[in-house]
Amino acid sequence: MSSVVVYNLVKTYAGGDRRATDGVSLEVADGEFLVLVGPSGCGKTTLLRMVAGLETPDSGTVSIGGRDVTYLPPRQRGLSMVFQSYAIFPHMKVRQNIGFGLTMRKVPRDEFDRRVKRAAELLHLEEYLDRYPAQLSGGQRQRVAVARAIVVDAAVLLMDEPLSNLDALLRLQFRAELKRIVGQLGTTTLYVTHDQAEAMSLGDRVAVMRDGRVAQLGAPLAVYDRPADRFVGGFLGSPPMNFLTARVGGGALAVGDASLQAPDHLSTWEGRDVVVGVRAENIQVATEPAAGWVPARIEVVEPTGAALLLTVRLADEQLKVQAPATFPAAPDARVHLRAEPAALRFYDPESGLALDA
Ligand SMILES: Nc1ncnc2c1ncn2[C@@H]1O[C@H](COP(=O)(O)OP(=O)(O)OP(=O)(O)O)[C@@H](O)[C@H]1O
């Protein structure tokens, strides 16, 4: 049992003007891959470092496998770490780098060989074991850092932006490999990234952080489909969720001259504005008008290869719409839009919080 439970962690750095983490509570279940994601400065690294034992919280607790480790040093916590600046030793060959944690633990020679071989196999590094880090590419060095972390069979793996030094293509390849490897090992993993696509791809669940707090925690698609507030909807997804202001009246939602059907639960908002959230891929687009479709004008057409990303104007609002690659789109052309009612989300314009059905 190697769950990680973080309870009400508060941390303010000396000289810091606000809390780096402001009462964070979450649980990483045994064998789960949980991703902390959020913009720069939201406190994700601080949270990870408190789990690691590299920072001491002002208050709150960290438990690993049911044991309170809040004030234990890192080496007594049964975890292993990979950081962005993968500190592999330049004067040691790959074999000794991968096996470093085993050497420290005085693991016997044959077991050392067996475990290093297995970690090297998982990371496709077998043929590089006798090279020095300087003779490797950046991607291969990063693999060495991951192999070194997994070779010790720690109950919990902590990773802080392990892919951020890799170029875009390598990042994508290694992301899938990490997912395979961690899935195979079944190690409880807490992973920090500022990259929302990486978070969606890797996490069993994602915790979206903002200003030292968890804004939302859930399965990637659940969070993507039902953002708990405007911040989460705007942070997850590329393009971000569209938001437009609509006036509720007589069972309808008015956006400029256009009118959509309002769901029943908005009846308490009669006569007031709400914010409607809708993802680009949930908006259908047509060249011809039809009942219930809303007229709009194309401003920009961007081919992405698999689709077209349209910037369209609807009344005073600008929206991103994903159209099929074959859609006959041109700047200034008039088009007609519609979205399934089930794909619309509603937010309080003041607080930004979701108005649940
Ligand atoms: N050693 C430190 N001393 C003072 N303030 C710090 C220190 N480390 C972090 N902070 C502050 O704490 C807040 C949270 O920082 P943290 O590094 O945890 O954020 P992050 O989400 O990991 O950001 P990034 O993705 O940029 O690393 C920020 O306001 C940051 O400026």
Which residues fall within 8 angstroms of residue 324, CB to CB, at 6 or more apart? 307, 308
User: In the chain, what are the domain boundaries?
Assistant: 4-227, 242-347
Q: How far does the centroid of ligand 1 lie from the alpha carbon of residue 284, in Å? A: 41
Predicted pLDDT of residue 85: 67
If you measure from the C-alpha of residue 43 to the centroid of ligand 1, how many angstroms do you get, rounded to a whole number?
Answer: 6
pLDDT digits (tens, 9 = 90+) for 193-209: 999 999 999 999 999 99
Of 6, 13, 16, 85, the residue nearest 48 (C-alpha): 6
Q: What percent of the chain has pLDDT over 90?
A: 78
* DSSP character at residue 266: G
pLDDT above 70 covers what percent of the chain? 99
| Nearest atom in ligand 1 to 15's CA | 4
Contacts of 36 (CB under 8 A, 6+ apart): 44, 47, 48, 190, 191, 192, 193, 206, 207, 209
Strand duo 188-193 + 33-37: pairing: parallel
Query: Which pTM does this prediction carry?
Result: 0.92
Mutate to test the pocket of ligand 1, among 24, 36, 45, 190 (most ligand atoms within 8 A of CB): 45
- For the segment(s) 4-227, the CATH number from 3.40.50.460, 3.40.50.300, 1.10.3720.10, 3.30.465.10 is 3.40.50.300
Residue 281 phi, psi dihedral angles, 5° rounding: -80, -5
- Among 42, 47, 163, name the best residue to mutate to test ligand 1's pocket (greatest count of ligand atoms within 8 A of Cβ): 42
Q: For residue range 120-132, list pLDDT tens digits in order.
A: 998 889 999 999 9
- 242-347 to CATH, choices 1.25.40.20, 1.10.730.10, 2.40.50.140, 3.20.20.80: 2.40.50.140
Residue 353 has pLDDT above 80, yes or no: yes
The rounded Å distance from CA 344 to ligand 1 centre is 35
Give strand pairing partners of 244: 276
Output the CA 20–ligand 1 centroid distance in Å.
6
| Cα 83 to ligand 1 centroid, rounded to whole Å | 15
- In this predicted structure, the answer to whether residue 53 has a pLDDT above a threshold of 80 is yes
The residue whose CB lies within 8 Å of the most ligand 1 atoms, and thus the one to mutate among 6, 40, 50, is 40
| Per-residue pLDDT at 162 exceeds 90 | no
For residues 171 and 298, which has the higher predicted lDDT (pLDDT)?
298
Q: What pLDDT does 293 receive?
A: 92
Structural contact between residues 203 and 178, judged by C-beta atoms closer than 8 angstroms: no
Distance CA 201, CA 281 (A): 18
Q: What letter represents residue 286's amino acid? A: A
In this predicted structure, the answer to whether residue 17 has a pLDDT above a threshold of 90 is no
Instruction: Identify which of 226, 53, 222, 254 has the alpha carbon closest to the alpha carbon of residue 154.
Output: 53
pLDDT value of position 86: 63
* Model pLDDT, residue 237: 94
Q: Which residue, judged by its Cα, is nearest atom 12 of ligand 1?
A: 20
Supply the pLDDT for residue 299: 98
Report the helix count and the strand count for the chain, using DSSP H and E: 9, 20
Per-residue model confidence (pLDDT) at position 39 = 95
Q: How far is the CA of 131 from the centre of ligand 1 (A)?
A: 36
Contact 162, 182 (CB under 8 A): no
Average pLDDT over residues 216-244: 97
Q: What local confidence, expressed as pLDDT, does residue 344 receive?
A: 95
| pLDDT, position 174 | 85
Task: Give the mean model confidence (pLDDT) for residues 174-197.
Answer: 91
Q: Quick: pLDDT tens for 59-89.
A: 999 999 999 999 999 989 999 998 776 678 9
CA distances from 78 to 57, 67, 154, 331 (A): 19, 11, 6, 58
Residue 171 pLDDT level (bands cut at 50, 70, 90): confident
CA of 5 to the centre of ligand 1 (A): 21
Stretch among 17-21, 167-171, 225-229 having the lowest mean pLDDT: 167-171
Ligand 1 neighbours, Cβ below 6 Å, are 13, 15-16, 20, 38, 40-46, 194
Q: What pLDDT sits at residue 282?
A: 97
Contact 159, 191 (CB under 8 A): yes
**Res 239 pLDDT > 90:** yes
166 has a pLDDT exceeding 70: yes
What is the average pLDDT value for the chain, to the nearest integer? 93
CA of 160 to the centre of ligand 1 (A): 13
6, 9, 10, 13: residue to mutate for ligand 1 pocket, most atoms within 8 A of CB: 13
pLDDT of residue 357: 64
> The tokens of 336 are what?
């007609």
Q: Which atom of ligand 1 is nearest to the CA of 46?
A: 18
Characterise 130 by phi-psi region: left (phi > 0), alpha (psi -120 to 50), beta (else). alpha
